[in-house]
Amino acid sequence: MIERWVDGVERVAVLTGAGVSTDSGIPDYRGPSGVWTLDPELVKAFTYQSFMADPEVRAAFWQTYHGHPAWSARPNAAHRALADLERSGVAVRVLTQNIDGLQQTAGSNPRKVLELHGTMREVVCTGCDRRTPSEPTMARVDAGDTDPRCVDCGAILKLAVVLFGEHLDPATAGLAERIAANAQLMIAVGTSLRVEPVASLCAVAVNAGHRLVIVNRDPTPYDDLAVEVIREPIGTALPRICAAVAEATRVAR
């Protein structure tokens, strides 16, 4: 029953993972048809040390995003439900592991969306730190450039995403912890909760005395901390949850 854990909720944090975007046609990473499930060797391309050391690894990385469905994907029911929840007046913050930008496209205020693992919509130079929109670099990749370099300093370019072996931005990580500690309800949806330190935001919320709800197809390491674990499809579960939170808040007012 949703009612027992939406009562009295005024502040909500939603931790979203790749499962939120699969209904938009974007493959996840660890699912049965996930990017790394189908090609385990590709994990190297998402590891910072390997990426920086090997041009062949960089070529594999850029090829992964050549024609990637995320470039043209549209928000789905889950993204729209979160945007609608914000518009209803509930204080909601989205802490997303996704890099596709679909939550903002769905209508969420960009200031209320914290992109924990960065964004594929920008490219960053590993030398001079210059950030630019992704389109020009991806056009170079599409034209056959397997290892694009910065036009200013000649250093290696990468998408502005956090690779394995890189630290989260300290300011972003600190803000995420504060949000988790202050949200009365934490909803973790479409995430395996196996990537730290982001997954530990669930423990931050629970240790602060708040409720954790997990919506995910597969078991996670944090299931035992949750007041409820929901296995139904995200595209139906999240709109239902968001509607219940909005209604409970409306009634409380």
Token pair 């931005």 in the structure block, residue: 169
The pTM (predicted TM-score) of the whole model is: 0.91
Domains of the chain: 1-26+75-117+168-253 (3.40.50.1220), 30-67+118-161 (3.30.1600.10)
Confidence of residue 28 (pLDDT cuts 50, 70, 90): confident
Residue 117 annotated as catalytic = yes
Q: What is the pLDDT of residue 42?
A: 72
- How many helices (H) and strands (E) the chain has is answered by 10, 9
Per-residue pLDDT band at 8 (split at 50, 70, 90): confident
Mean model confidence pLDDT for the chain: 92
Q: Is the pLDDT of residue 253 over 60?
A: no
- 3-state DSSP assignment of residue 11: strand
Give pLDDT, residue 1. 55
User: Mean pLDDT, to the nearest integer, of 195-208?
Assistant: 96
Options 66, 117, 167, 210, the catalytic residue = 117
Sheet holding 228-230, edge to edge: 113-115, 91-96, 11-16, 185-189, 211-215, 228-230
